[in-house]
Amino acid sequence: MKSRKPVIGVDLDGVCADFYGRMREIAAEWFERPLDSLTSDVSYGLGEWGISPGGYDSLHRFALHQRELFETMPMIPGARRYLRMLSDEGYHIRIITHRLFIHYSHASAVSQTVAWLDRHGIPYWDLCFMKEKSAVGADIYIEDNPANVEQLRNSGHTTICFANSTNRHVAPPRADSWAEVYRLITCRDDLLTDTHPSVT
Ligand SMILES: [Mg+2]
């Protein structure tokens, strides 16, 4: 059987795009507070900024529709360079993101996402808007959301945790840069010991 390179399932927010950095700027506008008053040392859910569990949706809609959140986030350094290197070496880049979590905003979310990916020169073959990331299928996932990392690993999927302030408690394998992601994928045999299914 012809061997193939693994499919890499790549998350966007907090992995390729600096979601927390850009959202911090927009939240400062939303709350009319100085930027410095909002810590960058956040946990998942952004409770440090005073956002209640049910209070995020309004901020998100403002960010998406009035500040073009998904089109204006800075790229996390290295994402373009190392994803291009992996793609050129034959790895199959599959973007998997859960950005459609608020109803009736999907056109904006999708169009901003596609424009951002092209503008930043991110190479990819597939773009999946999915909550259940394990349902998409990938051989190696790159993910920053602690709950997603746990769920993927618990279901047997090799998952690199892309480090940020929301996931300090998550166990290795971890990467605090794209250079480290690349090294883990290309140099670490123990990441690739699983038997990969045939391409269908
Ligand atoms: Mg993420």
Tens-digit pLDDT string for the chain (200 aa): 456 779 999 999 999 999 999 999 999 999 999 999 999 999 998 999 999 878 899 999 999 999 999 999 999 999 999 999 999 999 999 999 999 988 888 999 999 999 999 999 999 999 999 988 988 989 999 999 999 999 999 999 999 999 999 999 999 999 999 999 999 999 866 565 444 443 33
pLDDT given at position 101: 82
Query: How do 140-143 and 126-129 pair as beta strands?
Result: unpaired
Q: In 3D, which of 28, 29, 64 has the Cα closest to residue 48?
A: 28
Tell me the two tokens of residue 26: 């927009």
CA of 198 to the centre of ligand 1 (A): 28
CA of 73 to the centre of ligand 1 (A): 13
CA of 148 to the centre of ligand 1 (A): 9
CA distance 72 to 170: 28
CA distances from 12 to 53, 81, 194 (A): 22, 15, 24
- Per residue in 125-147, pLDDT (tens digit) is 999 999 889 889 899 999 999 99
Residue 11: how many other CB atoms lie within 10 Å: 23
Sign, Cα dihedral of 45, 66, 30, 38: positive
Q: Is residue 96 a contact partner of residue 130, using CB atoms and an 8 Å limit?
A: yes
What DSSP letter does each residue of 47-115 carry, written as one string? GGGT--TT-HHHHHHHHHHHS-HHHHPPBPTTHHHHHHHHHHTT-EEEEEE----STT-HHHHHHHHHH
The one-letter amino acid code at 114 reads V
pLDDT given at position 134: 86
Q: In 3D, which of 188, 164, 190, 191 has the Cα closest to residue 176?
A: 164
CA of 161 to the centre of ligand 1 (A): 10
Active site residues: 11, 13
Specify the fold of 7-17+74-192: Rossmann fold (3.40.50)
Q: Name the helix (H) or strand (E) containing 10.
A: strand 7-10
Residues of the chain with CATH 3.40.50.1000: 7-17+74-192
